[in-house]
Structure 1
Amino acid sequence: MTDALLSSSFSSEFLAFRSIERFEDGSGYSLHVELQAGPFSASYPFFVESHPVKKFLASLGTLQESLSGEALLKPEYEPQFILIRAGVGGHMVVSGELFVHSDQPQSLKFQFRTDQTCVGLFLQKLRHELAAVTF
């Protein structure tokens, strides 16, 4: 199973990228986002092009090393996003918005905090999982 988990070091909150697969044409990825943030949870299909994924990985690496800045994962033509940004004292803030466009539109805004150790483990696992699905 291809999973990358970003847990909170302060609570039971988490963000997980599950079932990561590369599009057959190599143009991007599909993954299943699962999250628990406060009393809210979600299970959400997330599709993103290759370029935003590469940019997210590079920004996460910089964030991990410098403890400053942010890493944004956002499809090029869709509004949903996941953002990890540096806080104070090695803390990191994980936030985002997820949208469902249908005849009954829905959205979820979420946020929780973690620390740089958890972000580093997440980055390592995500790189490994993405390499495993690359052809």
Structure 2
Amino acid sequence: MKALAGYLAGLLFGLGLAISGMTDPARVIGFLDVAGDWDPTLVFVLGGAVITTFIGYRLVWRRQTPLFESRFQQPTRRDLYTRLLGGAALFGIGWGLSGYCPGPAVASLPGLSWPLAAFLVAMIAGWWLSRRIRPSQ
């Protein structure tokens, strides 16, 4: 059931990205181009996500345990550190240059193009490299 719930959540996320047009990197780049031909579409997508998350968390935290786990898993580290800031900066630079982040890139796979393929190769290489530099704890 846990895997099925994950697949259904991923499917819903991918459909939302496709319906909202966020699989089109030109929309994301248009949103980031505040000094040029600005496209505000992403604001509405992000606003919808914030509202959904706000309501969802209020409902989830009323439960004693999650549906498919014995306890909630929350991050314990709360400080800002170099690897976190560096990773966030690399993510932002890659997002701004390509118009893709991992979710929309995977949702865009049916319309695979050379820029998308290059992004996916770079994303997988970065993931692989990060695992080799410092394995997860």
Q: TM-score, normalised by structure 2?
A: 0.29
Greater RCO (CA < 8 Å, at least 6 residues apart): 2
Greater fraction of residues in strand: 1
Greater fraction of residues in helix: 2
